[in-house]
């Protein structure tokens, strides 16, 4: 780039920065003013508020005057918030106000236009944009087009422009570092620079280099279901976080971050991505894992953890696999829906309401009331009407209970202070002693019955555990077991196991969703209509049942699902039918399936190697970023394997911030970490998802490495003994695709056959 262009651009940058500085000073003054005003209002509160409390009109006047003071405080608070937000935005802009420039001519206008694009917009006077927000309609030209004619969408319809210049900047602390002019969509050089960087414990935003196919995902506003199927490292997670920022901008004032929910694979991942939105000047959406969501809702049970689930899924128990396949299916969801519908006419289980050890209202009576309402009632209003009746019954019982001997005794046992305290709510004299007794007795009975009242209000008379068991027992009548290759006996055995687990206070991942769905249906829980957008990352690890349940729970939400069917580490072969089952849950007209085939995370050498692990990996394209070929070490025994590992760790220390040694499960991770400790090799064992990611050498089980990336990855025990099963193929792919710059596989005796299809020239055998 010629010096004169750089000088001109630096001059423009200086002008913009001067204006940004000026605006920042104004924001500081506004903040100071708002703080001073607030201080003054607080100080003068008692002078300004006219306290008159002796007459009614005086009291009214006082309250109006307090309200006025409050309003003034609120206004100052708002202007303080606004100015602080502005100040934060401008402070970021001072370092790097924009990253791109576009020159174009609009159709019908002969004067060319120049715009600059940055993380946020900036005007020096109304409607005079010195910088456009990257999410503004016009900015999409930058992401979508090469040089030349194109159309883009505006709120008023399509607009055609002729783009004559696309320029990218790297600006550091107010100085232009580099300038690239490009005729590409988003120049490869800038992307390459970004991808060459080191891994980080926090994911970064990709605003400056969003690719055209990612931009389609980010700006989709039409679909009810947006399903993104993308290769490992193709930027699914990155794109979806930009999408959240885009939606918050597009629907500002109508959509808040609290109405967007993201389900992530594990807590570690939540932590990894939680800086992206704040970096873009937006607040984080609600983030949780499915495990958190479900376990929060069943506090009395311990839900199976990620690690337990992983071990279970990899067990060789064929029957268990079939049972889980059934429980995870859409058929199971439909069967349960049919079962709950039938509860409208019969079979609802109730518990006795007890008082002082005796039955107060029997379950038979409750059932009689519940089914006394006509068939137009649904489960929710049937329950509400039952509660209402029970409360009435309870009220009627107060009188008869007051005559019971225990009440007489309780009244006699009241101390003088207790009597005085109770009588305070009865300011007048009692007519006679009988009236006084009655008053005290009523007070005692109502107090004693309060627990039952609460039980009624909270529908504790529903026997949810019993009901769940009843449902499970009924499954053979609701679902064709043959389809799942199960016998009635096998099913019944599994029900016994579920019951035994629940008696121990545990519930499996496969059971918990069905349990919650049943609970929500019979308790008439209202769906969460406030959530407008729901995102699921790593959707291939979800079951069709879970998806149907989430759709039921968040009926107004638009779904964005991201997944790589090749990385299903929990649901394996089911994952391929997930897409098909999903298509039956959403309107096909409003479903958009997008494929991302280019992988950005890894070097060309790593992507070319990893795609051969998959049986159908030929579609995956690598991004041209050079690195070393993956290294495969086949050694004779464990000691040699550890020696090779230590060698690798030492070599990596010179080049990289993070080396992750990924093993199959937690037990292996623990053993290996200890062995490295014994050799004085510093390492961090990642054993729960509640830990924080750190740099350095990590030892991590595969299921916790989901969605993450590291400079260098060592797959330890990549041999036939540990990964000899065809079912491990997707897991091996997930492990190897975590590597950004370097990949090493250490195997004892014989390399796993899952690497058989990789051509010899794509790796170095050492
Ligand atoms: N357009 C882009 N510009 C810069 N970096 C990008 C871009 N797209 C993706 N990346 C980077 O590539 C890496 C992989 O992206 P991401 O984690 O979003 O992929 P993914 O599809 O979710 O992967 P996986 O399914 O393997 O977890 C990240 O470091 C991300 O920042």
What pLDDT, on a 0 to 100 scale, did the predictor assign at position 748? 95
Chain segment 303-336, per-residue pLDDT in tens: 887 777 777 666 667 888 899 889 999 999 999 9
pLDDT at 740 over 70: yes
What pLDDT, on a 0 to 100 scale, did the predictor assign at position 637? 94
Q: Is 235 annotated as a binding residue?
A: yes
CB distance 257 to 283 below 8 Å = yes
The CA–CA distances, whole Å, from 490 to 166, 306, 316 equal: 65, 26, 16
Q: Is 629 annotated as a binding residue?
A: no
Determine the distance separating the centroid of ligand 1 and the alpha carbon of 601, expressed in angstroms. Answer: 6
User: Measured from the CA of 186, which atom of ligand 1 is nearest?
Assistant: 1
* Owner of token pair 């503004």: 136
The CA–CA distances, whole Å, from 473 to 263, 379, 467, 495 equal: 31, 21, 10, 7
Distant-in-sequence, close-in-space partners of 70: CB < 8 Å, separation ≥ 6: none
CB distance 276 to 284 below 8 Å = no
Q: In the chain, what are the domain boundaries?
A: 1-196, 217-307+528-598, 353-458, 604-765
Task: Classify strands 591-596 and 122-125 as parallel, antiparallel or unpaired.
Answer: unpaired
**CATH code linked to domain 217-307+528-598:** 3.40.50.300
Question: Hey, whose CA ends up nearest to atom 23 of ligand 1?
Answer: 233
14, two tokens: 């200086």
Q: Is 673 annotated as a binding residue?
A: no
Chain segment 465-498, per-residue pLDDT in tens: 999 999 999 999 999 999 999 999 999 999 999 9
User: Measured from the CA of 567, which atom of ligand 1 is nearest?
Assistant: 25
% of residues, the chain, pLDDT over 70: 95
Instruction: Pick the more confident residue, 40 or 603.
Output: 603
Quote the DSSP letter at residue 763: S
Question: Hey, whose CA ends up nearest to atom 4 of ligand 1?
Answer: 206
The answer to whether the CB of 194 is under 6 A from ligand 1 is yes
Cross-strand partners of 441: none
* Owner of token pair 């002969």: 110
The CA–CA distances, whole Å, from 538 to 204, 244, 281, 303, 696 equal: 19, 17, 26, 20, 26
Quote the DSSP letter at residue 744: E
The answer to whether the CB of 389 is under 6 A from ligand 1 is no
pLDDT at 570 over 60: no
Instruction: Pick the more confident residue, 515 or 270.
Output: 515
Q: In terms of DSSP H, where are the helices of 96-129?
A: none
Determine the distance separating the centroid of ligand 1 and the alpha carbon of 738, expressed in angstroms. Answer: 11
Chain segment 421-463, per-residue pLDDT in tens: 777 777 677 777 788 888 888 888 888 888 899 999 999 999 8
Determine the distance separating the centroid of ligand 1 and the alpha carbon of 138, expressed in angstroms. Answer: 25
The answer to whether the CB of 211 is under 6 A from ligand 1 is yes
Determine the distance separating the centroid of ligand 1 and the alpha carbon of 195, expressed in angstroms. Answer: 9
Determine the distance separating the centroid of ligand 1 and the alpha carbon of 569, expressed in angstroms. Answer: 19
The answer to whether the CB of 741 is under 6 A from ligand 1 is no
pLDDT at 140 over 70: yes
Q: What ipTM does this complex have?
A: 0.98
Determine the distance separating the centroid of ligand 1 and the alpha carbon of 276, expressed in angstroms. Answer: 13
Q: Is 233 annotated as a binding residue?
A: yes
694, two tokens: 């750190």
The answer to whether the CB of 600 is under 6 A from ligand 1 is yes
Highest mean pLDDT among 40-44, 498-502, 563-567: 498-502
Handedness of CA 603, 606, 612, 613 (dihedral sign): negative
Quote the DSSP letter at residue 751: B
For residue 477, the SS3 value is helix
CA-based nearest residue to 228, from 595, 540, 550 = 595
Q: Is 253 annotated as a binding residue?
A: no
For the chain, give the mean pLDDT: 88
- Confidence category of residue 572, pLDDT binned at 50, 70, 90: low
* Owner of token pair 């799942």: 484
Q: How far is CA 12 from the centre of its chain?
A: 41
Question: Hey, whose CA ends up nearest to atom 10 of ligand 1?
Answer: 235
Topology match between the domains 217-307+528-598 and 604-765:
yes
The answer to whether the CB of 232 is under 6 A from ligand 1 is yes
For residue 699, the SS3 value is strand
CA-based nearest residue to 438, from 461, 417, 411 = 411
**CATH code linked to domain 604-765:** 3.40.50.300
CB distance 44 to 117 below 8 Å = no
The answer to whether the CB of 243 is under 6 A from ligand 1 is no
Dihedral angle at the C-alpha atoms of 724, 726, 727, 729, nearest 10 degrees? 90
- As a whole number of angstroms, the distance between CA 262 and CA 534 comes to 6
As a 3-state breakdown, the chain gives helix, strand, coil percent values, each rounded to 5, of 50, 20, 30
Q: Is 410 annotated as a binding residue?
A: no
Q: Is 231 annotated as a binding residue?
A: yes
pLDDT at 238 over 90: yes
Determine the distance separating the centroid of ligand 1 and the alpha carbon of 338, expressed in angstroms. Answer: 42
């Amino acid at each position: 780039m010629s010096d004169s262009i750089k000088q001109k651009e630096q001059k423009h940058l200086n002008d913009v920065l001067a204006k940004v500085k000026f605006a920042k000073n104004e924001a500081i003054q506004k903040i100071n003013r708002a703080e001073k005003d607030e201080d003054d209002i607080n100080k003068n509160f008692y002078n300004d508020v006219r306290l008159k409390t002796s007459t009614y009109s005086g009291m009214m006047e006082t309250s109006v005057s307090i309200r006025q003071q409050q309003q003034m405080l609120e206004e100052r608070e708002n202007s303080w918030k606004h100015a602080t937000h502005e100040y934060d935005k401008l402070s970021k802009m001072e370092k790097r106000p924009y990253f791109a420039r576009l020159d174009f001519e609009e159709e019908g206008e002969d004067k060319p236009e120049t715009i600059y694009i940055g993380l946020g917009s900036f005007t020096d006077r109304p409607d005079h944009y010195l910088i456009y927000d990257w999410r503004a309609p016009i900015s999409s030209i930058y992401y979508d087009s090469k040089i030349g004619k194109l159309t883009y969408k505006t709120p008023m319809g399509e607009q055609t422009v002729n783009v004559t210049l696309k320029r990218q900047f790297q600006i550091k602390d107010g100085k232009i570092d580099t300038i690239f002019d490009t005729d590409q969509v988003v120049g490869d050089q800038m992307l390459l620079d970004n991808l060459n960087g080191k891994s980080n414990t926090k994911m970064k935003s990709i605003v400056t280099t969003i690719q055209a196919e990612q931009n389609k995902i980010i700006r989709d506003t039409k679909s009810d279901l947006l399903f993104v199927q993308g290769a490992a490292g193709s930027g699914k997670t990155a794109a979806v976080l930009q999408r959240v920022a885009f939606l918050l901008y597009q629907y500002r004032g109508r959509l808040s971050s609290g109405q967007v929910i993201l389900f992530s694979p594990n807590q570690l991942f939540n932590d990894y991505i939680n800086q992206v939105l704040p970096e873009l000047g937006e607040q984080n959406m609600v983030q949780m894992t499915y495990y958190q969501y479900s376990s929060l809702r069943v506090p009395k049970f311990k839900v199976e953890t990620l690690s337990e689930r992983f071990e279970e899924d990899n067990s060789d128990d064929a029957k268990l696999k079939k049972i889980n396949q059934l429980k995870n299916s859409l058929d199971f969801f439909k069967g349960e829906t049919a079962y709950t519908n039938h509860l409208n006419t019969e079979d609802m289980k109730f518990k006795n309401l007890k008082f002082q050890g005796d039955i107060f209202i029997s379950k038979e009576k409750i059932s009689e009331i519940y089914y006394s309402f006509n068939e137009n009632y649904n489960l929710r209003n049937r329950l509400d009407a039952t509660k209402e009746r029970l409360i009435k019954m309870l009220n009627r019982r107060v009188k008869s209970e007051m005559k019971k001997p225990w009440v007489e005794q309780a009244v006699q046992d009241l101390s003088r202070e207790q009597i005085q305290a109770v009588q305070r709510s009865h300011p007048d004299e009692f007519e006679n002693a009988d009236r006084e007794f009655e008053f005290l007795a009523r007070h005692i009975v109502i107090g004693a019955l309060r627990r039952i009242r609460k039980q009624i209000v909270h529908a504790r008379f529903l026997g949810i555990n019993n009901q769940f068991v009843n449902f499970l027992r009924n499954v053979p009548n609701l679902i064709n077991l043959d389809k799942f290759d199960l016998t009635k006996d096998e099913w019944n055995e599994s029900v016994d196991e579920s019951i035994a687990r629940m008696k121990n206070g545990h519930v499996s991942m496969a059971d918990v969703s069905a349990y919650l769905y049943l609970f929500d249906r019979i308790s008439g829980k209202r769906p969460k209509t406030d959530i407008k957008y729901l995102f699921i990352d790593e959707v291939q690890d979800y079951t069709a049942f879970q998806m149907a349940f989430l759709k039921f729970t968040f009926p107004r939400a638009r779904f964005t699902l991201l997944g790589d069917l090749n990385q299903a580490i929990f649901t394996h072969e089911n994952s391929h039918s997930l897409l098909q089952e999903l298509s039956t849950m959403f309107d096909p007209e409003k479903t958009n399936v997008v494929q991302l085939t280019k992988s950005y995370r890894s070097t060309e050498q790593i992507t070319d190697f990893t795609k051969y692990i998959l049986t159908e990996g030929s579609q995956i394209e690598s991004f041209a970023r050079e690195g070393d070929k993956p290294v495969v070490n086949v050694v004779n025994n464990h000691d040699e394997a550890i020696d090779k590992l230590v060698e690798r760790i030492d070599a990596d220390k010179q080049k990289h911030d993070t080396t992750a040694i990924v093993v199959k499960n937690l037990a292996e991770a623990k053993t290996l970490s200890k062995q490295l400790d014994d050799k004085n090799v510093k390492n961090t064992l990642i054993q729960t998802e509640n830990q924080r990611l750190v740099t350095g050498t990590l030892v991590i089980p595969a299921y916790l490495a989901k969605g993450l990336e590291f400079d260098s990855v060592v797959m330890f025990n990549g041999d036939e003994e540990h990964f000899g099963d065809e079912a491990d193929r997707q897991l091996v792919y997930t492990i190897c695709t975590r590597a950004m710059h370097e990949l090493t596989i250490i195997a004892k005796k014989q390399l796993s056959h899952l690497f058989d299809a990789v051509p010899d020239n794509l790796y170095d055998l050492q």
